[in-house]
Amino acid sequence: MSQTRRDGLEEEKMALTCEICGRPVSTESRVMIDGAVLRVCLNCAGKGTKLGSPPPKPIPFRIGPPPQATITAPELELDPDYNTIVKQARERMGLTQEALGRAINEKPSVISHVESRKLKPDPILASKLMHHLKIKLLVPSDELGSSG
């Protein structure tokens, strides 16, 4: 299927004439007379209300595509020794499981289970523990290596 596009562009060389006096206009002036916009010559421009050039439209200042807000975070995994890390950090701070639980708004049994590896802390719990105990429980997955 081929579509030949017809060049329908016909340049009409219309001699602009003043809509008031009918004389050819070299420099178009637009005036408003009785609510109608007329294209007139400079001589007749004074007979109506001169229309200023329309205010330029604000051009949105955009160059290129909008910035991407996606940040690719590295894949983090729970440290396999999370229970030891939590326990040691807690003991270092002189906290009981109960005190730590209260501090991060968790039940003491949660702390107990984490320290005995019965419970794997979810990302929220892990981040709370990390923040409070100033430890690092999440490590980039490639840092763990594959020894299995």
Scanning residues 9 to 38, which ones bind Zn ion (CB under 5 A)?
Answer: 18, 20-21
The reply to whether 45 sits near Zn ion by the rule CB under 5 A is no
Give the three-state DSSP class for 102. helix
**Distance between first and last Cα of the chain:** 61
Which amino acid makes up residue 55?
A: P
Minimum CB–partner distance for residue 25 and Zn ion (Å): 7
The smaller minimum CB distance to Zn ion, of residues 40 and 133, is found at 40
Residue 50 Cβ vs Zn ion, minimum distance, rounded to whole Å: 13
Contact call for residue 44 and Zn ion (CB under 5 A): yes
The whole-angstrom separation of Cα 131 and Cα 137 is: 10
We find the least distance from the C-beta atom of residue 7 to Zn ion, in angstroms, to be 36
Tell me if 135 contacts Zn ion by CB under 5 A: no
Strands (E) in the chain, as ranges, are 29-33, 36-40, 49-50, 76-78, 138-140
Report phi then psi at 69, rounded to 5.
Answer: -95, 10
CB closer to Zn ion, 17 vs 112: 17
Residues forming contacts to Zn ion in the complex (CB under 5 A) are 18, 20-21, 40-41, 43-44
